Chains A and B, each alone.
Chain A
Protein backbone atom coordinates (compact mmCIF):
# COMPACT_ATOMS: atom_id res chain seq x y z
CA UNK A 1 0.00 0.00 0.00
CA UNK A 2 1.48 3.32 -1.10
CA UNK A 3 2.10 6.32 1.08
CA UNK A 4 -0.86 8.68 1.47
CA UNK A 5 -0.65 12.16 0.03
CA UNK A 6 -1.29 15.22 2.16
CA UNK A 7 -4.71 15.70 0.59
CA UNK A 8 -5.66 12.12 1.28
CA UNK A 9 -4.56 12.46 4.91
CA UNK A 10 -6.65 15.63 5.24
CA UNK A 11 -9.65 13.88 3.76
CA UNK A 12 -9.20 10.93 6.09
CA UNK A 13 -8.77 13.13 9.15
CA UNK A 14 -12.09 14.82 8.45
CA UNK A 15 -13.82 11.43 8.83
CA UNK A 16 -11.60 10.19 11.63
CA UNK A 17 -13.19 9.34 14.98
CA UNK A 18 -10.02 10.15 16.89
CA UNK A 19 -9.23 13.63 18.10
CA UNK A 20 -5.85 15.26 17.58
CA UNK A 21 -3.39 15.61 20.48
CA UNK A 22 -4.02 19.35 20.56
CA UNK A 23 -7.78 18.74 20.65
CA UNK A 24 -7.44 16.14 23.40
CA UNK A 25 -5.37 18.52 25.56
CA UNK A 26 -7.94 21.23 24.92
CA UNK A 27 -10.76 18.94 26.00
CA UNK A 28 -8.88 17.79 29.10
CA UNK A 29 -8.10 21.38 30.10
CA UNK A 30 -11.75 22.38 29.70
CA UNK A 31 -12.98 19.29 31.56
CA UNK A 32 -10.57 19.87 34.44
CA UNK A 33 -11.62 23.51 34.74
CA UNK A 34 -15.33 22.65 34.69
CA UNK A 35 -14.84 19.84 37.21
CA UNK A 36 -13.14 22.26 39.64
CA UNK A 37 -16.03 24.75 39.60
CA UNK A 38 -18.46 22.56 41.64
CA UNK A 39 -15.71 21.94 44.20
CA UNK A 40 -15.42 25.67 44.86
CA UNK A 41 -19.22 25.86 45.15
CA UNK A 42 -19.34 23.05 47.71
CA UNK A 43 -16.37 24.52 49.55
CA UNK A 44 -18.25 27.82 49.92
CA UNK A 45 -21.83 26.67 50.40
CA UNK A 46 -21.36 23.50 52.46
CA UNK A 47 -18.12 24.61 54.18
CA UNK A 48 -16.28 21.50 52.97
CA UNK A 49 -12.69 22.09 54.02
CA UNK A 50 -10.05 21.25 51.41
CA UNK A 51 -7.79 19.33 53.79
CA UNK A 52 -10.62 17.23 55.26
CA UNK A 53 -12.29 16.53 51.93
CA UNK A 54 -9.18 16.19 49.76
CA UNK A 55 -9.84 12.58 48.79
CA UNK A 56 -13.46 13.35 47.86
CA UNK A 57 -12.41 16.43 45.88
CA UNK A 58 -9.75 14.50 43.94
CA UNK A 59 -12.17 11.65 43.21
CA UNK A 60 -14.88 14.06 42.08
CA UNK A 61 -12.57 16.20 39.93
CA UNK A 62 -10.83 13.19 38.36
CA UNK A 63 -14.01 11.28 37.58
CA UNK A 64 -15.84 14.32 36.29
CA UNK A 65 -12.92 15.50 34.13
CA UNK A 66 -12.51 12.09 32.52
CA UNK A 67 -16.22 11.73 31.76
CA UNK A 68 -16.52 15.30 30.43
CA UNK A 69 -13.58 15.00 28.03
CA UNK A 70 -15.04 11.68 26.84
CA UNK A 71 -18.40 13.40 26.26
CA UNK A 72 -16.72 16.30 24.43
CA UNK A 73 -14.85 13.94 22.11
CA UNK A 74 -17.99 11.98 21.29
CA UNK A 75 -19.96 15.16 20.76
CA UNK A 76 -17.29 16.58 18.49
CA UNK A 77 -17.29 13.45 16.33
CA UNK A 78 -21.06 13.66 15.94
CA UNK A 79 -21.04 17.36 15.11
CA UNK A 80 -18.05 17.44 12.77
CA UNK A 81 -19.71 15.53 9.93
CA UNK A 82 -22.84 17.69 10.12
CA UNK A 83 -20.79 20.90 10.12
CA UNK A 84 -18.64 19.79 7.14
CA UNK A 85 -21.83 19.34 5.11
CA UNK A 86 -23.30 22.68 6.19
CA UNK A 87 -20.19 24.84 5.74
CA UNK A 88 -19.03 23.26 2.45
CA UNK A 89 -20.61 25.72 -0.01
CA UNK A 90 -19.57 28.80 1.98
CA UNK A 91 -15.97 27.62 2.27
CA UNK A 92 -15.81 26.79 -1.47
CA UNK A 93 -17.16 30.24 -2.27
CA UNK A 94 -14.52 31.85 -0.05
CA UNK A 95 -11.73 29.83 -1.73
CA UNK A 96 -13.05 30.72 -5.19
CA UNK A 97 -13.19 34.42 -4.27
CA UNK A 98 -9.65 34.33 -2.92
CA UNK A 99 -7.97 32.20 -5.58
CA UNK A 100 -10.40 32.61 -8.48
CA UNK A 101 -8.10 34.94 -10.40
CA UNK A 102 -4.91 33.02 -9.55
CA UNK A 103 -3.98 31.38 -12.83
CA UNK A 104 -1.14 29.41 -11.27
CA UNK A 105 -3.57 27.26 -9.26
CA UNK A 106 -5.25 24.39 -11.02
CA UNK A 107 -8.83 23.36 -10.28
CA UNK A 108 -7.49 20.36 -8.37
CA UNK A 109 -5.32 22.60 -6.19
CA UNK A 110 -8.30 24.83 -5.45
CA UNK A 111 -10.42 21.79 -4.52
CA UNK A 112 -7.67 20.58 -2.22
CA UNK A 113 -7.43 23.96 -0.51
CA UNK A 114 -11.23 24.02 -0.10
CA UNK A 115 -11.10 20.54 1.40
CA UNK A 116 -8.40 21.51 3.88
CA UNK A 117 -10.25 24.69 4.81
CA UNK A 118 -13.56 22.85 5.22
CA UNK A 119 -11.84 20.42 7.56
CA UNK A 120 -10.29 23.25 9.58
CA UNK A 121 -13.59 25.11 9.90
CA UNK A 122 -15.54 21.98 10.82
CA UNK A 123 -12.88 20.95 13.34
CA UNK A 124 -12.81 24.27 15.17
CA UNK A 125 -16.60 24.75 15.07
CA UNK A 126 -17.30 21.24 16.29
CA UNK A 127 -14.74 21.70 19.09
CA UNK A 128 -16.33 24.96 20.26
CA UNK A 129 -19.87 23.64 19.97
CA UNK A 130 -19.09 20.37 21.75
CA UNK A 131 -17.48 22.26 24.64
CA UNK A 132 -20.39 24.70 24.87
CA UNK A 133 -23.01 21.95 24.68
CA UNK A 134 -21.27 19.59 27.12
CA UNK A 135 -20.45 22.30 29.67
CA UNK A 136 -23.95 23.78 29.60
CA UNK A 137 -25.63 20.40 29.94
CA UNK A 138 -23.31 19.27 32.75
CA UNK A 139 -23.57 22.51 34.75
CA UNK A 140 -27.37 22.58 34.46
CA UNK A 141 -27.83 18.96 35.56
CA UNK A 142 -25.23 19.35 38.31
CA UNK A 143 -26.83 22.49 39.79
CA UNK A 144 -30.36 21.02 39.70
CA UNK A 145 -29.25 17.76 41.29
CA UNK A 146 -26.97 19.37 43.91
CA UNK A 147 -29.36 22.07 45.10
CA UNK A 148 -32.80 20.56 44.46
CA UNK A 149 -32.81 16.79 44.02
CA UNK A 150 -30.03 15.93 46.49
CA UNK A 151 -30.29 19.01 48.70
CA UNK A 152 -30.99 16.96 51.84
CA UNK A 153 -28.12 14.55 51.30
CA UNK A 154 -24.83 14.82 53.22
CA UNK A 155 -22.45 17.19 51.37
CA UNK A 156 -19.90 14.45 50.58
CA UNK A 157 -22.47 12.20 48.89
CA UNK A 158 -24.19 15.19 47.33
CA UNK A 159 -20.90 16.29 45.74
CA UNK A 160 -19.95 12.85 44.45
CA UNK A 161 -23.37 11.95 43.07
CA UNK A 162 -24.18 15.36 41.59
CA UNK A 163 -20.80 15.83 39.84
CA UNK A 164 -19.87 12.31 38.73
CA UNK A 165 -23.51 11.40 38.14
CA UNK A 166 -24.16 14.47 35.99
CA UNK A 167 -20.93 13.95 34.02
CA UNK A 168 -21.84 10.30 33.56
CA UNK A 169 -25.26 11.24 32.24
CA UNK A 170 -23.74 13.76 29.82
CA UNK A 171 -21.21 11.14 28.67
CA UNK A 172 -24.01 8.62 28.19
CA UNK A 173 -26.07 11.09 26.13
CA UNK A 174 -23.03 11.82 23.95
CA UNK A 175 -22.86 8.19 22.86
CA UNK A 176 -26.05 8.60 20.82
CA UNK A 177 -25.59 7.71 17.17
CA UNK A 178 -27.30 10.83 15.82
Chain B
Protein backbone atom coordinates (compact mmCIF):
# COMPACT_ATOMS: atom_id res chain seq x y z
CA UNK B 1 0.00 0.00 0.00
CA UNK B 2 1.45 3.24 -1.05
CA UNK B 3 2.08 5.54 1.79
CA UNK B 4 0.98 8.95 0.84
CA UNK B 5 1.14 12.11 2.78
CA UNK B 6 -0.70 14.98 1.25
CA UNK B 7 -0.66 18.27 2.91
CA UNK B 8 -2.81 20.89 1.40
CA UNK B 9 -3.40 24.41 2.54
CA UNK B 10 -4.62 27.55 0.99
CA UNK B 11 -4.75 31.18 1.71
CA UNK B 12 -7.78 33.10 0.70
CA UNK B 13 -7.35 36.76 0.13
CA UNK B 14 -10.25 38.89 -0.86
CA UNK B 15 -8.15 41.39 -2.73
CA UNK B 16 -5.31 39.30 -4.16
CA UNK B 17 -5.84 37.75 -7.53
CA UNK B 18 -2.98 35.26 -7.27
CA UNK B 19 -3.93 32.35 -5.07
CA UNK B 20 -1.43 29.70 -4.15
CA UNK B 21 -1.94 26.21 -2.76
CA UNK B 22 0.88 24.09 -1.36
CA UNK B 23 1.04 20.31 -1.23
CA UNK B 24 3.71 18.05 0.23
CA UNK B 25 3.78 14.46 -0.81
CA UNK B 26 6.11 11.60 0.05
CA UNK B 27 6.94 9.73 -3.16
CA UNK B 28 8.79 6.86 -1.49
CA UNK B 29 6.59 3.88 -0.78
CA UNK B 30 7.62 3.59 2.87
CA UNK B 31 9.42 6.01 5.22
CA UNK B 32 12.69 4.19 5.92
CA UNK B 33 15.63 5.21 8.07
CA UNK B 34 19.10 5.06 6.45
CA UNK B 35 17.43 5.00 3.02
CA UNK B 36 16.60 7.67 0.48
CA UNK B 37 13.18 9.21 1.00
CA UNK B 38 11.83 11.47 -1.73
CA UNK B 39 9.47 14.32 -0.99
CA UNK B 40 7.60 16.31 -3.60
CA UNK B 41 6.29 19.81 -3.11
CA UNK B 42 3.49 20.90 -5.35
CA UNK B 43 2.82 24.63 -5.56
CA UNK B 44 -0.31 25.56 -7.50
CA UNK B 45 -1.42 29.01 -8.49
CA UNK B 46 -5.18 28.81 -8.92
CA UNK B 47 -5.54 32.57 -9.15
CA UNK B 48 -5.95 34.77 -12.19
CA UNK B 49 -2.64 36.62 -12.01
CA UNK B 50 0.94 35.50 -11.60
CA UNK B 51 2.50 34.91 -8.20
CA UNK B 52 6.03 36.30 -8.05
CA UNK B 53 8.90 35.88 -5.59
CA UNK B 54 7.49 32.60 -4.39
CA UNK B 55 9.51 31.25 -1.47
CA UNK B 56 9.08 27.76 -0.08
CA UNK B 57 10.24 27.08 3.49
CA UNK B 58 10.40 23.62 5.00
CA UNK B 59 13.80 23.61 6.69
CA UNK B 60 12.28 22.70 10.08
CA UNK B 61 11.04 19.35 8.74
CA UNK B 62 14.58 18.16 8.05
CA UNK B 63 16.96 19.18 10.87
CA UNK B 64 20.52 18.31 9.87
CA UNK B 65 21.17 16.35 13.06
CA UNK B 66 18.40 13.95 12.05
CA UNK B 67 18.53 14.08 8.25
CA UNK B 68 21.14 14.10 5.53
CA UNK B 69 19.88 16.10 2.57
CA UNK B 70 21.13 14.41 -0.58
CA UNK B 71 19.42 16.42 -3.27
CA UNK B 72 17.38 19.60 -3.42
CA UNK B 73 16.79 22.05 -0.64
CA UNK B 74 13.79 22.40 1.69
CA UNK B 75 14.08 26.15 1.13
CA UNK B 76 13.74 27.32 -2.44
CA UNK B 77 12.54 30.24 -4.54
CA UNK B 78 10.57 30.55 -7.74
CA UNK B 79 10.65 33.84 -9.62
CA UNK B 80 7.13 33.46 -10.99
CA UNK B 81 4.27 31.04 -11.08
CA UNK B 82 1.84 31.97 -13.87
CA UNK B 83 -1.91 31.67 -13.23
CA UNK B 84 -3.38 28.15 -13.41
CA UNK B 85 0.10 26.65 -13.34
CA UNK B 86 1.78 24.14 -11.02
CA UNK B 87 5.45 23.89 -10.14
CA UNK B 88 7.09 20.89 -8.50
CA UNK B 89 10.09 20.72 -6.24
CA UNK B 90 11.79 17.56 -4.99
CA UNK B 91 13.96 16.90 -1.98
CA UNK B 92 15.81 13.64 -1.31
CA UNK B 93 16.71 13.02 2.33
CA UNK B 94 18.18 10.15 4.33
CA UNK B 95 16.98 9.92 7.95
CA UNK B 96 19.94 9.24 10.22
CA UNK B 97 18.02 7.22 12.81
CA UNK B 98 14.96 5.07 13.30
CA UNK B 99 12.63 7.56 14.90
CA UNK B 100 9.29 9.32 14.73
CA UNK B 101 9.72 12.89 13.52
CA UNK B 102 7.07 15.55 13.77
CA UNK B 103 5.84 16.98 10.49
CA UNK B 104 6.58 20.67 10.65
CA UNK B 105 4.76 23.51 9.05
CA UNK B 106 5.52 24.11 5.34
CA UNK B 107 5.13 27.74 4.36
CA UNK B 108 5.06 29.62 1.10
CA UNK B 109 5.40 33.39 0.75
CA UNK B 110 4.48 35.02 -2.49
CA UNK B 111 3.68 38.39 -4.00
CA UNK B 112 0.83 39.10 -6.32
CA UNK B 113 2.23 40.45 -9.60
CA UNK B 114 -0.48 43.11 -9.97
CA UNK B 115 -1.37 44.29 -6.50
CA UNK B 116 2.15 43.61 -5.08
CA UNK B 117 0.50 42.28 -1.97
CA UNK B 118 2.62 39.78 -0.06
CA UNK B 119 0.75 36.69 1.05
CA UNK B 120 1.55 33.72 3.20
CA UNK B 121 0.36 30.16 2.95
CA UNK B 122 1.00 27.34 5.38
CA UNK B 123 0.14 23.73 6.13
CA UNK B 124 -0.13 24.25 9.85
CA UNK B 125 -3.78 23.19 9.99
CA UNK B 126 -2.89 19.80 8.51
CA UNK B 127 0.57 19.00 9.81
CA UNK B 128 0.15 20.02 13.43
CA UNK B 129 0.66 17.06 15.73
CA UNK B 130 1.41 14.60 12.93
CA UNK B 131 4.46 12.37 13.06
CA UNK B 132 6.22 10.37 10.38
CA UNK B 133 7.72 7.16 11.71
CA UNK B 134 10.95 6.37 9.88
CA UNK B 135 11.33 2.62 10.27
CA UNK B 136 14.23 0.25 9.96
CA UNK B 137 14.25 -1.75 6.75
CA UNK B 138 14.12 -5.03 8.68
CA UNK B 139 10.83 -4.00 10.26
CA UNK B 140 9.22 -4.01 6.82
CA UNK B 141 11.12 -6.96 5.41
CA UNK B 142 8.07 -9.19 5.43
CA UNK B 143 6.15 -6.55 3.49
CA UNK B 144 8.65 -5.02 1.09
CA UNK B 145 11.63 -7.35 1.09
CA UNK B 146 12.21 -9.81 -1.72
CA UNK B 147 12.49 -13.13 0.02
CA UNK B 148 15.01 -15.63 -1.26
CA UNK B 149 12.47 -18.44 -0.86
CA UNK B 150 10.88 -18.15 -4.34
CA UNK B 151 14.32 -18.12 -5.96
CA UNK B 152 15.44 -21.16 -3.95
CA UNK B 153 12.26 -22.98 -4.95
CA UNK B 154 12.82 -21.99 -8.56
CA UNK B 155 16.38 -23.33 -8.43
CA UNK B 156 15.21 -26.53 -6.72
CA UNK B 157 12.76 -27.19 -9.57
CA UNK B 158 14.89 -26.10 -12.51
CA UNK B 159 18.45 -27.00 -11.62
CA UNK B 160 18.51 -30.75 -10.76
CA UNK B 161 17.45 -31.94 -14.22
CA UNK B 162 19.72 -29.44 -15.95
CA UNK B 163 22.71 -30.18 -13.72
CA UNK B 164 22.26 -33.95 -14.00
CA UNK B 165 22.08 -33.70 -17.79
CA UNK B 166 25.37 -31.84 -17.92
CA UNK B 167 26.91 -34.31 -15.45
CA UNK B 168 25.91 -37.34 -17.53
CA UNK B 169 27.07 -35.65 -20.72
CA UNK B 170 30.52 -34.78 -19.39
CA UNK B 171 30.90 -38.24 -17.83
CA UNK B 172 30.16 -39.87 -21.18
CA UNK B 173 32.36 -37.36 -23.00
CA UNK B 174 35.34 -38.09 -20.76
CA UNK B 175 34.79 -41.83 -21.23
CA UNK B 176 34.71 -41.70 -25.04
CA UNK B 177 37.14 -38.88 -25.72
CA UNK B 178 40.08 -39.67 -27.95
CA UNK B 179 43.31 -38.20 -26.63
CA UNK B 180 45.32 -36.60 -29.40
CA UNK B 181 48.85 -37.91 -29.66
CA UNK B 182 51.75 -35.95 -31.13
Contact = CB atoms under 8 A, between A and B. Distances in A.
Contacts, number: 71
B165 A132 contact: yes
A157 interface: no
A89 B147 CA distance: 51
Interface residues of B, number: 21
Interface in A62-118: 86-87, 89-91, 93-94
Contact of A131 (B151, B153, B161, B178): B161
Nearest to B163: A132
Contacts of A168: none
A164 B150 CA distance: 20
A144 interface: no
Contacts of A41: 150-151, 153-154
Interface stretch (B10-18, B20-28, B131-139, B169-177): B169-177
A87 B176 contact: yes
A132 B154 contact: no
A10 interface: no
Interface in B127-182: 146-147, 149-151, 153-154, 157-158, 161-162, 165-166, 168-169, 172-173, 175-178
B138 to A, nearest CB: 20
Contacts of B158: 33-34, 37, 135, 139
The prevalent SS among residues of A at the interface is helix
Given A36-B157, A131-B161, A45 B146 contact: yes
B166 A132 contact: yes
Given A90-B178, A121-B176, A124-B172, A44 B153 contact: yes
Contacts of A132: 162, 165-166, 169
A137 B101 CA distance: 50
The prevalent SS among residues of B at the interface is helix
Of B147, B154, B161, B166, most A-chain CB atoms within 10 Å: B154
Given A34-B161, A38-B154, A125 B173 contact: yes
Nearest to B151: A41
Contacts of A44: 147, 149-151, 153-154
Contacts of A45: 146, 150-151
A127 B166 CA distance: 10
B176 A43 contact: no
A121 B153 contact: no
Nearest to A129: B169
Contacts of B157: 33-34, 36-37, 40
9 contacts: A34-B158, A36-B157, A43-B150, A44-B147, A45-B146, A87-B176, A125-B169, A128-B165, A129-B165
Interface of A: 30, 33-34, 36-38, 40-41, 43-45, 86-87, 89-91, 93-94, 121, 124-125, 127-129, 131-132, 135-136, 139
Interface of B: 146-147, 149-151, 153-154, 157-158, 161-162, 165-166, 168-169, 172-173, 175-178
Given A38-B154, A132-B162, 19 more contacts: A33-B158, A34-B158, A37-B154, A40-B154, A40-B157, A41-B153, A44-B151, A44-B154, A90-B175, A90-B176, A91-B176, A93-B178, A94-B176, A125-B169, A125-B172, A125-B173, A128-B166, A128-B169, A136-B162
A-B complex: 3 closest residue pairs judged by Cβ atoms: A44-B150, A128-B169, A37-B158
